């Protein structure tokens, strides 16, 4: 289904429920994995996903169509993750330019984490990155988002995103092939 048709369904009170079901079908997996890589544990990701869809449902009437609906949904999910992380760390704002000192602790505490040789190497590198670097890499490499979409979601300049991604990608390739 094309985005225009989906929006028409969502904006019409009579077909809003049908449109919302389609939104859940199309994006719940994608949103879940983006959230999971930011908050790390499955239970937290589930909570954030539920909250994200509540905000999407409430906010859909005010969606002006200035971006793709998927970008708008990712942005809500991203902001919801930041809100969750700041609450979790008991800080007003998440520090995006430093690495997360609790990365490994959160990961290994999750019962749905099943490490193997490759994932251990990946996480060792990811844990050393700043929160912003990690998010940019994950969104491009795993979620396969475009650079301009990542820029719209995070509010970071597109050139910064490109340079960050290539830097991290090079680092990961080098360390994994060693």
Contacts to other proteins by CB under 8 A: 17, 20-21, 24-25, 28-29, 32-33, 36-37, 42, 46, 49-50, 53-54, 57-58, 61, 112-116, 118-120, 122-123, 142
> In the complex, what is the shortest distance from the CB of residue 93 to other proteins, in angstroms, rounded to a whole number?
26
Asked whether 81 and 39 are in contact (CB, 8 A), the reply is: yes
CB nearer to other proteins: pick between 4 and 13: 13
Task: Please state the closest distance from residue 19 (CB atom) to other proteins, in A.
Answer: 11
Nearer to other proteins, 51 or 158 (CB): 51
Number of Cβ within 10 Å of residue 172's Cβ equals: 17
Q: How far is the CB of 29 from other proteins (least distance, A)?
A: 6
Dist. CA 150–CA 45, nearest whole Å = 20
**Contact, 56 vs 73, CB < 8 A?**
yes
154 burial (CB, 10 Å; 0-12 / 13-18 / 19+) is: buried
CB of 91 to other proteins, least distance (A): 25
Closer to other proteins by Cβ: residue 58 or 64: 58
Coil/strand/helix, residue 12: coil
CB neighbourhood size of 148 (10 A):
12
Nearer to other proteins, 16 or 158 (CB): 16
Question: Least Å distance between CB 17 and other proteins?
Answer: 5
**Residues 154, 131: Cα–Cα separation, whole Å:** 12
Task: Please identify, using beta-carbon distances, which residue of 96 and 107 lies nearer to other proteins.
Answer: 107
């Amino acid at each position: 289904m094309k985005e225009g048709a989906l929006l028409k369904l969502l904006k019409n009170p009579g077909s809003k429920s049908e449109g919302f079901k389609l939104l859940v079908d199309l994006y719940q997996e994608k949103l879940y994995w983006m959230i999971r890589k930011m908050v790390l544990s499955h239970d937290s990701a589930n909570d954030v996903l539920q909250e994200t869809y509540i905000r999407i449902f409430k906010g859909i009437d005010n969606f002006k169509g200035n971006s793709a609906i998927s970008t708008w949904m990712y942005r809500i999910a991203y902001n919801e993750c930041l809100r969750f992380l700041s609450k979790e760390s008991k800080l007003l704002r998440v520090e995006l330019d430093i690495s997360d000192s609790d990365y490994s602790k959160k990961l290994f505490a999750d019962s749905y984490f099943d490490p193997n040789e490759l994932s251990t190497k990946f996480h060792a590198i990811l844990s050393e990155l700043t929160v912003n670097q990690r998010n940019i890499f994950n969104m491009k490499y795993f979620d396969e988002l475009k650079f301009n979409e990542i820029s719209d979601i995070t509010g970071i300049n597109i050139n910064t995103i490109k340079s960050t991604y290539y830097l991290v990608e090079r680092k990961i390739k080098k360390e994994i092939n060693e």
